[in-house]
Structure 1
């Protein structure tokens, strides 16, 4: 059943909570929300022994847009969800949702611990330059109202071949992508920090809660390098899920998250 919390700026944030036990809030990555993406499957797998909150980040699914897409507003959204969970929770962030979760963990909103899966930070100058160009381009696309162009730019940035992107433009699901295209700007902001999406070493080093960083054994080395550097900066536990890619399977992930939460 969908429920709602009201964020600090009055925006209604839709969520679904399942299970009973310590609270876990799942933060989706780019373009994803409860009806489209991995969070609902992960929540259902983790619900045995946990109260798991899957939510639609603002501007996605059933959540409101609010006056803007600033990272600070998204942290306020998470604060409202943590309050609904009883005032404390573990955050789990997928991909760029991991960058947001790591920011929120240091914001004093009741985060007890944070786990992330492959936050896509840049670890080389080439990657930083490429990300900066992407961030500028997607911002221009959204500002011009070119939502389809923004989605296509994101897909190309993450390595999708052009013929596949062209095919997806013709699919029935393309309007869903376009509907959440403005949120690509916020995802880029959550990653960017000093520019180019570097691993935010100082911010991570300042975290005072336990951190778990995960990657997949079959994921690209760029993502695995980012995971290792993130873990080192945060003095975090680092684990590899063998046989997994960036599209991690809920059945592989849930037991590892349950073990991490149980350490609390």
Structure 2
């Protein structure tokens, strides 16, 4: 059942909490949200059955955590902090894709994180063109070109996956193009 928490920045975050025990908070990548991510839900259910409290949430800006406007790292970290508090004051963060970067920053910034579990982290210190890529993404978002922003963001994703993302909706009010 969906619960909600309000972050220190005023955002309402929708989440599912399961089990009792040491906390694991899942931080999804840029595309997924609970309604289209059954693998994370299944993993959370398995961990809850093994004595953990698990929290799976919709990142700020989509589905049950919807809000208008650009979402920045401070918004994401405030959400993670609120979810850690809900889960039991300390947590292991399990990050996927861009969620890895958020989880890493949470640890660096001193949030009460005991461990990090990271997979498919988009971290490549040798990558070039990141500022230009980011600037183009924001130009598309600011112009309201959601489809263009998703295409730009997901340019290395197989076309069939990108087409699937284009046709899905984030809850009733937003689409995955809302976030970068």
For normalisation by structure 2, the TM-score amounts to 0.87
- The answer to whether structure 1 residue 17 and structure 2 residue 13 are counterparts is no
Closer, same or farther: CA 149–50 of 1 in aligned 2, 3 Å: same
Asked if 1 retains the 8 angstrom alpha-carbon contact of 2:62 and 2:178, the reply is no
Bigger Cα displacement from structure 2, 40-49 vs 1-10: 40-49
1:3 Cα offset (Å): 0.4
**Residue 147 (structure 2) aligns with:** 148
Cα 1:66–1:9 shift into 2, 3 Å: farther
Per the alignment, residue 5 of structure 1 pairs with 5
**Distance of aligned partners of 1:134 and 1:20 in 2 relative to their CA distance in 1, 3 Å threshold:** same
Displacement after TM superposition at 1:123 (Å): 3.7
Aligned pairs, how many?
176
Question: Is the radius of gyration larger for structure 1 or structure 2?
Answer: 1
Where does residue 63 of structure 1 map in the other structure? 65
Unaligned runs of at least 5 residues, structure 2: none
Shift of the 176–10 alpha-carbon distance from structure 1 to 2, 3 Å rule, reads closer
Tell me by how many angstroms 1:67 deviates. 6.0
Shift of 1:167: 4.8
Q: Deviations over 1:168-192 (max 9, x none)?
A: 48x742x4497232310xxxxxxxx
Partner of 1:103: 105
Which residues of 2 match residues 114-263 of structure 1 at below 5 A? 114-124=116-126, 127-129=127-129, 131-156=130-155, 158-161=156-159, 164=160, 167-168=163-164, 172-173=167-168, 175-176=169-170, 179-184=175-180
Deviations 1:210-261 (A, max 9, x none): xxxxxxxxxxxxxxxxxxxxxxxxxxxxxxxxxxxxxxxxxxxxxxxxxxxx
> What is the rounded CA distance, in whole Å, between the counterparts of 1:147 and 1:76 in structure 2?
25
The unaligned stretches of length 5 or more in structure 1 are: 185-264
Show the counterpart of 2:42: 41
For 1:110 and 1:140, the matched residues in 2 are separated by 35
Among 79, 96, 103, the alignment partner of 1:77 is 79
1:100 and 1:116 map into 2 onto residues whose CA distance is 10
> RMSD of the TM alignment (CA)?
2.3
Structure number with the bigger relative contact order (C-alpha 8 A, sep ≥ 6) is: 2
- Structure 1 stretches of at least 4 aligned residues deviating more than 6 Å after TM superposition: none
